[in-house]
Chains A and B, each alone.
Chain A
């Protein structure tokens, strides 16, 4: 109740803005037009009539997919920054939490770079803008990951994730992917706790989305680690605990060592059973990743059906990202003249 009555005081404008952005997300008709383009110039033309407008107007004539990628990301970042700037607490903390995921990616990139003695000046432009924080520029002073942690990371909001899971000794030795997965696990669990704390509709919507995200990560880590040197116990440490698979499903997953076994574990949960059944591993069929994407899009779309909660901001960001990926996919298919699988984008609205 409290939500509904007082929500609009602080967050009404932000919510309105967000819903406005959401209505600019491309519809099936737009996708239909894009798929029929022959060249990237046609693509640019068609995008002009959508909410994107002239965002590619300043780019020189031989348009490349990388340029389109950069511009899409810029636009997304702009919209998100605007939302962040006009938000009040606790919405601003919520939006900050969303950016932590990008910060994790940036930090992993920087750690990798320092491990291999790359010039930090090269690395900084490659970081995701949504994940920038003040100490990002100060990374230059550190030579080893341990120094990096002590000097820089300790002051960031991500410091807790590092403390929870890895000591600074491990930073040097562990494979960067394991670092990334561990950080992401801590982040998801933290975010889940925060949303639960917020209570109300936000908790309902976000916890469902985050639980799905946790389960999805558990499944994907399991499937992707089958042929690698990752042991079952190491894998178990990377599973986030805030999903619906916790604790039995995770134990079962830990013991699996092929795709069929994972499918059996999923069969005990009706939603995941449906997803796995629709998927196959051969080319031409939808992979389980595609099904997961579709389910994520569905959950995000449903977030907009309820009002007075923060979930729509998260959902909007994720949907816009998915749309960017779709556009890039279509652009790549057009540029490489490989139109066989051009329809493999994930449709957002029906």
Chain B
């Protein structure tokens, strides 16, 4: 694994600041994503519970509906199912989709509405009408249940997907991105330290050299005073007009 990688930057203070900024950004991002993953997980669990309940209810509702079909067949002598099937033109119950937003995830929700009147109002007029009304009610309820279940199941699948993706991102940030940045920062810091040390060493060396040079000059002066060339009391006043190099003041 390329886990010992770091970003390829030139180690400078600027790079360090930039990296620190990135680290902060990664940490904030990590927190936010974790919150999102938690919110989604809560919603996921509640949907799961609702799905289980609705499915149980569905079993009962379908059972009642099939039984009421049997009842209707019993009291309506004759095959009313054929007339019903043949006279179907369009769907009576239709679905509109709405969008729900959960922590940034768009979940569709289905809402049913009745389109058009009940074309089978008069079926079973001669006999069996009451059973037929009950049958219609039972199956309408079954459909409502089915629609609810459809909403819940699509939400379930979408959420499942999104939760996986979000968790993957959270883990990626936590285990890959942040360590990488941290390593980069450490590297920069270590490089900067080393550069400073080098600088320090260089300065010390220069100082030493300067001290040696000064010591040498002092010796020369003492010799010259001894030789009577110089009185030793005169100080050389600097001439502004001379382009002499001014020694640096090293306050070390």
Which residues of A come within 8 Å of B, CB atoms?
A: 105, 108-109, 112-113, 115-116, 118, 123, 126, 128, 175-178, 180-181, 184, 216-217, 220-221, 223-225, 227-230, 238, 281, 287, 289-290, 293, 321, 325, 328-329, 332-333, 336, 338, 341, 344
Partner of A289, one of B78, B79, B121, B128: B128
Q: Which 7 A-B pairs have the closest CB atoms?
A: A224-B129, A332-B70, A177-B122, A228-B121, A126-B82, A113-B86, A112-B87
Is the Cβ of A223 less than 8 Å from the Cβ of B130? Answer: yes
Question: Smallest CB–CB gap between B38 and chain A, Å?
Answer: 44
Q: Which residues of B contact A229 (CB under 8 A)?
A: 121
Question: A173 vs B89: C-alpha distance in the bound complex, in angstroms?
Answer: 15
Is the Cβ of A220 less than 8 Å from the Cβ of B87? Answer: no
Question: Smallest CB–CB gap between A129 and chain B, Å?
Answer: 12
Is the Cβ of A180 less than 8 Å from the Cβ of B126? Answer: yes
Partner of B122, one of A112, A128, A228, A332: A228
Known contacts A177-B123, A338-B63; decide if A220 and B83 are in contact (CB<8 Å): no
Q: Which residues of B contact A230 (CB under 8 A)?
A: 122, 125
Whether B113 is near chain A, meaning CB under 8 Å from some CB there, is no
Q: Which residues of A contact B83 (CB under 8 A)?
A: 108-109, 112, 176
0/1 string, B101-125, CB within 8 A of A gives 1:
0000000000000000000011111
Q: Which residue of B lies closest to A333 (CB)?
A: B70
Is the Cβ of B122 less than 8 Å from the Cβ of A325? Answer: no
Is the Cβ of A225 less than 8 Å from the Cβ of B87? Answer: no
Whether B67 is near chain A, meaning CB under 8 Å from some CB there, is yes
Is the Cβ of B122 less than 8 Å from the Cβ of A178? Answer: yes
Whether B73 is near chain A, meaning CB under 8 Å from some CB there, is yes
Is the Cβ of B122 less than 8 Å from the Cβ of A175? Answer: yes
Partner of A221, one of B73, B77, B86, B126: B126
Per the CB 8 Å criterion, the residue count for chain B at the interface is: 29
Q: Which residues of A contact B70 (CB under 8 A)?
A: 328-329, 332-333, 336
Question: Smallest CB–CB gap between B79 and chain A, Å?
Answer: 7
Question: A328 vs B69: C-alpha distance in the bound complex, in angstroms?
Answer: 12
Whether B24 is near chain A, meaning CB under 8 Å from some CB there, is no
Is the Cβ of B125 less than 8 Å from the Cβ of A287? Answer: no
Q: Which residues of B contact A336 (CB under 8 A)?
A: 63, 66-67, 70
Q: A109, A116, A221, A224 — which one has the most chain B CB atoms within 10 A of its CB?
A: A224
Is the Cβ of B74 less than 8 Å from the Cβ of A128? Answer: no
